[in-house]
Structure 1
Amino acid sequence: MTTLHDIARWRLRTQLLEMPVADAETAVRTMLAVQAENPAQSAWAVATRTLAPHASDLAEALTDGKVVRTHVLRPTWHYVHVDDIRWLIALTAPRVLPVFDRQLQPSADRMTALTDAIEHAVADSPGLTRAEIGAALAESGLDVPSSQLTLLLGRLELSCLLSSGEPRDGRHTFALMADRVPPAPAMDRDAALAHLALGYLSSHGPATDRDLAYWATLTLTDARRGIAAVSERLEAFEHDGLMYWHAPPTGPIADRGRAHLLQVLDEMYRGYQDSRWALDAEGVVPRTREASIGMVLCDGQLVAGMRRSVSATKAVFTLSPYRGIGSRERDEIEDAAARCAAFLGVEPVLEFTSG
């Protein structure tokens, strides 16, 4: 019988944490989308899924335009492969755009003026930062508060006007999508739902239909429609009244997974809603509102919260355990801290607190 712990351990493999791939581009393409709200933290989310984590890998993919950092799926940042961005936006934007519009509440005339001004500014100077776009709007007499500008730029990404440009000194920039993302044939909606369902369940499974609906901001009806279209290419099992779908395993699941130090926005946590707590099969983690901190996984289980502080010479990982940490787990955590610190180019320091 498959247990919650089995499901979590299985996801370590499908999510590439126990079966890493060659490079950042392949990792993002395989995952279909990787949440990327915090660039510094999310860079590790991609790198830890590769065979030889290096900061230049994702940076080069973003510079070359092979990977796009943009708003898609839920109304937040994601890394998406350039080949997938147009059809993903076409499929999910109709349900996501209203989230932006409810907060912006622009008049039609003002939205047109803002859109035209931003388009002209970015066309004239590709690779503008948010602050530089804000300054260009101010020069045009269209002052926009910072919070509203963030929403406005996200809306224009979901309208396929803007895309990520070449990063500059580690900062995100914007360019016209037409200049960064090649045109692609429109994908039939049913085909897109099927492609999405197969991609998600291959890279995040085992997962439920509600997990898919949450991840892609779909209706449950559309999530089920997508799964049904590819059901012959999937397998399923029931656990505790939920049906879990997954792509057929390509080999045996490891008896035990390594430790991983991840952000709480990592796909291992944020990639699910219905079955998120497979990460805590024993129920030791308080079900309170999540803090914006990292997490420590041992064999696919959430054993501690984690804060990461990086200086020029060291990365301090401060852990707040939810239960006792055994000697074997501590050794595995030390290995995970060493991997992350090596990626950052500093020395690891591991600290434990009582709370």
Structure 2
Amino acid sequence: MTYHEISHFRLVSQKLYKTSPNSPQEIVHYLGAMQAQDYAMAKWAIGSRCNATEKEIEEAINSAQIIRTHILRPTWHFVAAEDIYWMLDLSAPQVKRFTNSAAKKYGYDLKKLDQTNLAIEKVLAGNNHLTRDEIMRELNIKKTSSDDFLSAAIMMNAELDGLVCNGKMKGKQITYTLLEERVSKPKTKLTKEEALSKLAQRYFESHGPATLLDFSWWSGFPPTTCKLAINAIELQLNSVEIENQIYWFGKAIYYQTNFRESVHFLPAFDEILISYKTREASILLEHQSKAFTNNGIFKPIILENGKVIGTWKRTIKKDHAKIETQFFDVTEKEKKTALFEGIQSFENYLGTKITIE
């Protein structure tokens, strides 16, 4: 298997070929967790893998079929409602190390965070959906700085404790509500080993071919822990060795070898790049600084046949959306015309006319 083949198989495993119809929640469940700190772009990450419109995806989020919360790594993710509890049980202890450290700087130890959780529960009880600022006002917690790191740490801690998750959007503002009022708790719990194996299998089947270090980066667990998870499920996966690296992937994609011409306009922080520790299979080293920064800021990308060839950005106008592109190499006019056919699905998703510059 070559890097070119890896990039092809990842298009297959990540459902970017759209070979079968899927609902928004089915896409999120299949991928396990999708990074979602940029809410507008994260919705398109789902939309690019199914035929749902932005409105339909928002309905799935507002109705709690898809949950947006902090999980796996200390950032926002989309998670299917059916996965939220076992995934929180598994990953929350490791992510809470970051939130606890941040809260301590403002005098909030574990006891004070627990007391704050009780107060938040009272404020939100009865299916209330409040913004972070509204919750802080109810708790008489004043903003500590322009970035308001304290309230962020408090709410992230409440998310990781399984107390709150995203509520219904209030205009363009994100709200919080009680998780148990949105999603019922399951009657049984997985052991840590069962959950970790389940997470590993979900990752390699939906993101493979990928390495142990890729899974470690995506899951937030150390390589030694991830190795144990792979050992537990290796008979259920296929693998190939390239330059002394073992790449694992689901058995289902092994038979899908039909390469096809394809162009994808993908959002910032899309799983096609963000979910791998190293990204040479999808983007040349000399172009990586044009697509993402060393401190983890990812731009929307243009993918041609599995390779990143440029970046793009959108501007929403009153009656249309404007798309601006920047290619890494000079692209002939004829090729640009072919590439822009790849934006058609984004136009359908937005439900508005698109102009390209």
Could you tell me the TM-score, scaled by structure 1's length?
A: 0.91
CA shift digits 1:56-94 (9 cap, x unpaired): 322222222111111101111111011111111111111
Letter matched to residue 71 of structure 1: H
User: Partner residue of 1:5?
Assistant: 4
User: Partner residue of 1:137?
Assistant: 139
| SS of residue matched to 1:37 | coil
Residues 284 and 165 of structure 1: CA distance in aligned 2, closer, same or farther (over 3 Å): same
CA shift digits 1:254-302 (9 cap, x unpaired): 32341111123000011111x322112x444144536542111111111
Partners of 2:73 and 2:334 in 1: how far apart? Answer: 38
Q: 1:323 Cα deviation (Å)?
A: 1.6
Higher mean alpha-carbon deviation, 110-119 vs 303-312, is at 110-119
CA shift digits 1:107-132 (9 cap, x unpaired): 34532442222121111561111121
Work out whether residues 284 and 322 of structure 1, in 8 Å CA contact, stay in contact via their aligned partners in 2.
no
Instruction: Calculate the aligned-residue CA RMSD, in Å.
Output: 1.9
Q: 2:337 aligns with which of 331, 338, 341?
A: 331
Work out whether residues 257 and 300 of structure 1, in 8 Å CA contact, stay in contact via their aligned partners in 2.
no
User: Partner residue of 2:15?
Assistant: 16
User: Partner residue of 2:93?
Assistant: 94
Letter matched to residue 347 of structure 1: K
User: Partner residue of 2:199?
Assistant: 196
Letter matched to residue 77 of structure 1: W
Work out whether residues 13 and 253 of structure 1, in 8 Å CA contact, stay in contact via their aligned partners in 2.
no
Work out whether residues 31 and 199 of structure 1, in 8 Å CA contact, stay in contact via their aligned partners in 2.
yes
Partners of 1:240 and 1:54 in 2: how far apart? Answer: 41
Partners of 2:135 and 2:338 in 1: how far apart? Answer: 45
| SS of residue matched to 2:251 | coil
Query: What is the total number of aligned residue pairs between the two structures?
Result: 344
Work out whether residues 23 and 57 of structure 1, in 8 Å CA contact, stay in contact via their aligned partners in 2.
no
Residues 125 and 87 of structure 1: CA distance in aligned 2, closer, same or farther (over 3 Å): closer
Letter matched to residue 71 of structure 2: V
Could you tell me the TM-score, scaled by structure 2's length?
A: 0.90
Q: What is the percent sequence identity of the aligned residues? A: 26
| SS of residue matched to 1:207 | coil
User: Partner residue of 2:78?
Assistant: 79
CA shift digits 1:4-43 (9 cap, x unpaired): 1211111111101113532101111111111111111111
Partners of 1:215 and 1:30 in 2: how far apart? Answer: 15
User: Partner residue of 2:264?
Assistant: 260
The higher relative CO (CA closer than 8 Å, separation ≥ 6) is in 2
| SS of residue matched to 1:171 | coil
**Does structure 1 residue 206 correspond to structure 2 residue 209?**
yes
Q: 1:175 Cα deviation (Å)?
A: 1.2
Work out whether residues 314 and 341 of structure 1, in 8 Å CA contact, stay in contact via their aligned partners in 2.
no
| SS of residue matched to 1:121 | helix
Q: 1:167 Cα deviation (Å)?
A: 2.6
Partners of 1:60 and 1:125 in 2: how far apart? Answer: 17
Q: 1:326 Cα deviation (Å)?
A: 4.7
Work out whether residues 74 and 216 of structure 1, in 8 Å CA contact, stay in contact via their aligned partners in 2.
yes
Gaps in structure 1 of 5+ consecutive residues: none
Gaps in structure 2 of 5+ consecutive residues: none
Partners of 1:88 and 1:327 in 2: how far apart? Answer: 47
Matches within 5 A, 1:1-355: 2-19=1-18, 21-50=21-50, 52-105=51-104, 106-124=108-126, 126-138=128-140, 142-145=141-144, 146-184=148-186, 185-250=188-253, 251-273=255-277, 275-280=278-283, 282-287=284-289, 289=294, 291-326=297-332, 329-351=335-357
